[in-house]
C-alpha cells in the first residue's frame, strides 16, 4: 500500500473508530510526515483527499480538524434511459409527440418507451441561441437528450426531484389513471452562463426509481 493510502487509512480509521472525534485537531502536515516517515508532499496529497471526501476541514495557521458527520450529500446516478432500459432487457424507443419553435426556444415533447409501455413523458425546451444546430433537427427518431449529449457539452446542471400525481394530460400520455403517483425530474443545464436546455420528465412511479450512493474518500 502506498504512503498516501496508508496515511488516509490511518486517519480515516481513527475517525471511524471514534479515536478522533469531530472538532479534534489532527497533527500538522510536518508532524504527520515525520510520524509516517515520508515527505510532506505525500502527506499533503493524503490530506487533500480526506478534505475532498469531506472527512476533515483545513484552516491555515489553525490546522486540520475532523469534520462534523454529515449525511447531506450523495452521488446521484442520473439515468441514460436508453441504457437503463436496455440493461433491464427491454427495447427502448423514443416517440416524438410535438415540436414547436417559439421565439428563441425549441419546444419538444415526447415519450420514452420501455418495450410497449410508456415509461416517461418528456417536455423540453432548447435554447437555440446556445445550440443553433438544434433548429435543424427533427427529433423524430432520436431523443433530444441523446442528441444534445453528443452535440453540446454542458458545464453545470441543476436537478429537482419530486413526486406528484399525474395530470389528466400526463395520465393520458403515459396510459395510467389520473393522479397516479409519478416521479418528476426537472433538469436545467448550462454552458457557462448560457442556458442550454430545460427538461421535465414525468416517470411512472410504479416503473422507475433513482439510486444514489455515498462512498467516502476517493484518492
Partner DNA sequence: CAGTGGTCTAGACCACGCA
Partner DNA sequence: GCGTGGTCTAGACCACTGG
* Contacts to DNA by CB under 7 A: 2-5, 26, 28-30, 37-42, 44-45, 47-48, 51, 58-64, 219
In angstroms, give the least distance from the CB of 83 to DNA.
24
Q: What is the grid cell recorded at 194?
A: 448560457
Q: Where are the beta strands (DSSP E) in 78-116?
A: 92-102, 105-114
Going from the C-alpha of 4 to that of each of 47, 64, 153, 183, the distances in angstroms are 9, 17, 34, 42
For residue 5, state whether it binds its own copies (rule: CB under 8 A): no
Residue 168 interacting partner from DNA, its own copies, none (CB closer than 5 to 8 Å by kind): none
User: Phi first, then psi: what are they for 73, rounded to 5°?
Assistant: -150, 150
Q: Which stretch binds its own copies (CB under 8 A): 3-11, 102-110, 115-123, 204-212?
A: 204-212
In angstroms, give the least distance from the CB of 38 to its own copies.
15
Residue number with CB closer to its own copies (15 or 105): 15
- Residues in Cβ contact with 64 at an 8 Å cutoff, skipping those fewer than 6 apart: 25, 26, 28, 29, 47, 51, 56, 57, 58
Question: What single DSSP character describes residue 141?
Answer: S
Q: What is the grid cell recorded at 56?
A: 476533515
Per CB under 8 A, the list member of 79, 108, 109, 131 interacting with its own copies is: 79
For residue 210, state whether it binds its own copies (rule: CB under 8 A): yes
For residue 52, state whether it binds its own copies (rule: CB under 8 A): yes
For residue 206, state whether it binds its own copies (rule: CB under 8 A): yes
Beta-bridged to residue 32, according to DSSP, are none
In angstroms, give the least distance from the CB of 103 to its own copies.
26
Distance CA(54)–CA(4), nearest Å, equals: 17
For residue 193, state whether it binds its own copies (rule: CB under 8 A): no
Distance CA(27)–CA(32), nearest Å, equals: 6
For residue 88, state whether it binds its own copies (rule: CB under 8 A): no
Residues that bind its own copies (CB under 8 A): 15-16, 18, 41, 52, 69, 71-80, 145, 149-150, 153, 155-165, 179-184, 191-192, 203, 205-206, 208-216, 218
Amino acid at each position: 500500500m502506498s504512503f498516501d493510502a496508508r496515511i488516509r487509512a490511518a486517519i480515516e480509521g481513527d475517525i471511524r473508530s471514534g479515536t478522533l472525534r469531530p472538532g479534534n485537531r489532527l497533527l500538522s502536515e510536518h508532524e504527520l510526515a515525520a510520524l509516517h516517515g515520508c515527505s510532506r508532499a505525500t502527506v499533503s496529497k493524503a490530506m487533500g483527499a480526506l478534505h475532498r471526501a469531506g472527512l476533515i476541514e483545513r484552516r491555515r495557521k489553525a490546522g486540520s480538524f475532523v469534520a462534523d458527520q454529515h449525511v447531506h450529500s450523495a452521488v446521484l446516478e442520473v439515468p441514460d434511459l436508453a441504457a437503463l432500459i436496455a440493461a433491464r432487457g427491454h427495447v427502448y424507443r423514443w416517440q416524438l409527440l410535438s415540436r414547436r419553435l417559439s421565439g428563441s426556444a425549441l419546444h419538444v415533447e415526447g415519450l420514452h418507451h420501455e418495450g410497449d409501455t410508456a415509461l416517461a413523458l418528456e417536455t423540453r425546451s432548447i435554447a437555440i441561441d446556445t445550440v443553433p444546430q438544434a433548429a435543424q433537427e427533427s427529433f423524430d427518431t432520436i431523443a433530444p437528450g441523446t442528441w444534445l449529449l453528443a452535440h453540446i457539452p454542458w458545464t453545470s446542471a441543476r436537478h429537482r426531484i419530486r413526486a406528484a400525481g399525474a395530470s389528466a394530460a400526463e395520465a393520458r400520455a403515459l396510459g395510467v389513471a389520473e393522479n397516479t403517483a409519478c416521479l418528476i425530474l426537472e433538469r436545467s443545464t448550462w454552458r457557462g452562463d448560457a442556458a442550454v436546455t430545460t427538461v421535465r420528465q414525468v416517470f411512472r412511479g410504479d416503473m422507475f426509481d433513482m439510486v444514489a450512493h455515498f462512498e467516502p474518500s476517493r484518492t
